[in-house]
Structure 1
Amino acid sequence: MAPGDLPAVSRIAAAVHPGYPEEDAVLAERLALFPAGCWMLEGAGGLLGYAISHPWHRARPPALNTRLGALPENPGTHYVHDVALLPEARGQGAAGRLMPLLLEAARGLPELSLVAVGGSVPFWRRQGFQLVDDPALAAKLRSYDAEARFMARPAGPPGAAA
């Protein structure tokens, strides 16, 4: 992903996640802070999706539509901020091919984590993520929606022990 891709990221985000709006400045900040964790999916029809991720504090996902300010000096997780695929990109294994990129970006950290929304828990389970039940996260998860779930997985290959 490059800064010139941000208008497409905003369009894709609005189409895929209309219930989870984020300001363009939030997306631009994530790219500026950690470009090595941001990718675009391109297909015959143009840009079809994106992924944004970055190092972050363990078990402290950022609230929706919130700027980070800076990345932590001692991160405990690689946080998957967003994966968005237009309908024409789904069912072709694109999101599954993303995992090696996320694992590479997480190198040196013990885990990857995310907030699963929009019924995505089954997909993330197939990628090795497990639900994390932490009552301290309840209020933050509600900033997404009532169904949002915090998930994590070891930063090794599928099936790796924590």
Structure 2
Amino acid sequence: MPALDWRPMRAHDIGGVIDVARASFPDHFEARACFEERLALFPQGCLVLAQAEAVKGYVIAYPWPKGAIPPLNSLLGQLPDARDSFYLHDLALHPDVRGQGHASPAVEQVARELRAAGGHEFALVSVNGTKGFWRSMGFDPVAASADIQRKLESYGEGAAYMIRKL
């Protein structure tokens, strides 16, 4: 069986990324155009876990203002000029490869890319009961403003805004 390796995402990977997203986030699915746009806007924040050419996981991160949550299933249009704060939009693994230690290398690889791009911190929304997992990756929950709290409601019960210093 070919090895699983994290590598930069390419345009032809998007179909596999969508398959992993459907399996991972059935209640928060995003359109193909969202994945394509994020790759085009900030390719250095997009990786796939590949087994030969099969996509088994992906991570997407990009510059985004601290304390703000990008809208789900929406095109961003452009990214902010500031590169000090980043948002981890998704980290998803196909059910076949979960629990095998693939998440941590992806988070660390993206963290290196974000630091190289000038980042000082990176934020995410923890969903589906994953707060403990993200804490183990160095992210801490932060008090959410009323605006953030309203946006978190669209992510489901227990969603939390979390930040990690780079």
Alpha-carbon distance in structure 1 between the residues aligned to 2:52 and 2:96: 10
- Deviating 4+ runs (over 4 angstroms): none
Alpha-carbon distance in structure 2 between the residues aligned to 1:45 and 1:30: 21
SS in 2 for 1:78: strand
Q: Indicate the larger mover: 58-67 or 45-54.
A: 45-54
Percentage of pairs with the same residue: 41
Which among 140, 143, 146 is matched to residue 157 of structure 2?
A: 146
Which among 93, 107, 110 is matched to residue 102 of structure 1?
A: 110
Alpha-carbon distance in structure 2 between the residues aligned to 1:147 and 1:30: 26
Alpha-carbon distance in structure 1 between the residues aligned to 2:26 and 2:83: 30
TM-score (norm 2): 0.88
- Segments of structure 1 that go 5 or more residues without pairing to the other structure are 156-162
2:24 paired residue number: 16
2:127 paired residue number: 117
- Is the CA contact 2:131–2:160 (under 8 Å) kept in the aligned structure 1? yes
Alpha-carbon distance in structure 2 between the residues aligned to 1:14 and 1:125: 25
- Segments of structure 2 that go 5 or more residues without pairing to the other structure are 1-8
Q: CA deviation at 1:6?
A: 0.6
TM-score (norm 1): 0.90
| Root-mean-square deviation (Å) | 1.4
